[in-house]
Amino acid sequence: MMKYTFILITLLLSSFQSLQAQEKMEFEISVAGFSIGEMQAVKTQKGEESFYEITSEVGFWFFGKVNVDYSINSYYKGNQLIEAKSRTVSNKGNFASDINWKDGKYIVEATSYKYEKDTVINHPIFFSSAALYFEEPKNHKLFMAENFGLPSKITKYSDHYEVNVNGNRNKFYYINGKFDKAVMESPIKNYVIKRK
């Protein structure tokens, strides 16, 4: 009997160690007030590790029908970004970006629409675009744009935060510390991401 009690306690303790918290949000993506797709954001917290997953599917007309499936997967240990992957699959081309913290620096290999960058970043980053959907960046001045592999400044204005990524000015709005919407510039078409 004692042996079975020990096994039961061991199983219970190991299951508590694997407990994780998960936060999930849904968004609508629109252009000029018309819905063109949806986005989902998931943050999973497990001990000192955080995992962000952003997925979206959009379809719009731009000199022909354009369909885009986009994803970001970012991994943090403590407060530091350790790894990020961005993938874009579309009928106009496929793109990928990989960012990895190794030996005290980030190794960046990024391709996006009309953009390529292979570089090294020699300092840690503590915030990224995936985190912008879960946390108002009150204490952050710099973030990593996963799809471009670019560290970029965060500027606070009276009613929003602005980030300039590769010439695109994106504005993030929060209500009581919670993400409300983002107004995004893009070389193809500007759009709005609104929390449902």
Global pTM?
0.86
What tokens were used for 135? 């946390």
What tokens were used for 84? 């990020």
Name the strand (E) or helix (H) holding 116.
Answer: strand 115-121
**Which residues span the domain enclosing 184?**
24-195
Domain presence at residue 15:
no
Q: What is the pLDDT of residue 41?
A: 98
Domain presence at residue 10:
no
> Bridge partners of 116?
111
Domain presence at residue 128:
yes
Q: What is the pLDDT of residue 60?
A: 82
Domain presence at residue 2:
no
Q: What is the pLDDT of residue 15?
A: 46
Block mean pLDDT (10 aa), the chain, length 196: 47 50 97 95 97 95 83 98 97 94 97 89 98 97 95 97 95 98 89 97
Overall domain count for the chain: 1
Q: What is the pLDDT of residue 1?
A: 53
Domain presence at residue 147:
yes
Which residue from 111, 185, 114, 94 is spatially nearest to 150, judged by alpha carbons?
Answer: 111
Domain presence at residue 179:
yes
148-186 pLDDT, tens per residue?
Answer: 999 999 999 999 999 999 999 999 999 999 999 999 998
Domain presence at residue 43:
yes
Q: In Å, how far are 34, 36, 147, 189 from 59, measured between CA atoms? A: 11, 6, 19, 11
**Whether the Cβ atoms of residue 51 and residue 34 lie closer than 8 Å to each other:** no
Domain presence at residue 62:
yes
Query: Per-residue DSSP letters for 125-141?
Result: ---BGGGGGTS--TT-S
Q: What is the pLDDT of residue 115?
A: 86
Which residue from 66, 56, 2 is spatially nearest to 28, judged by alpha carbons?
Answer: 56
Q: What is the pLDDT of residue 12?
A: 43
Q: In Å, how far are 119, 139, 163 from 190, measured between CA atoms? A: 27, 28, 15
User: Letter for the amino acid at 141?
Assistant: K
Q: What is the dihedral of CA 95, 101, 105, 106, to 10 degrees?
A: 10
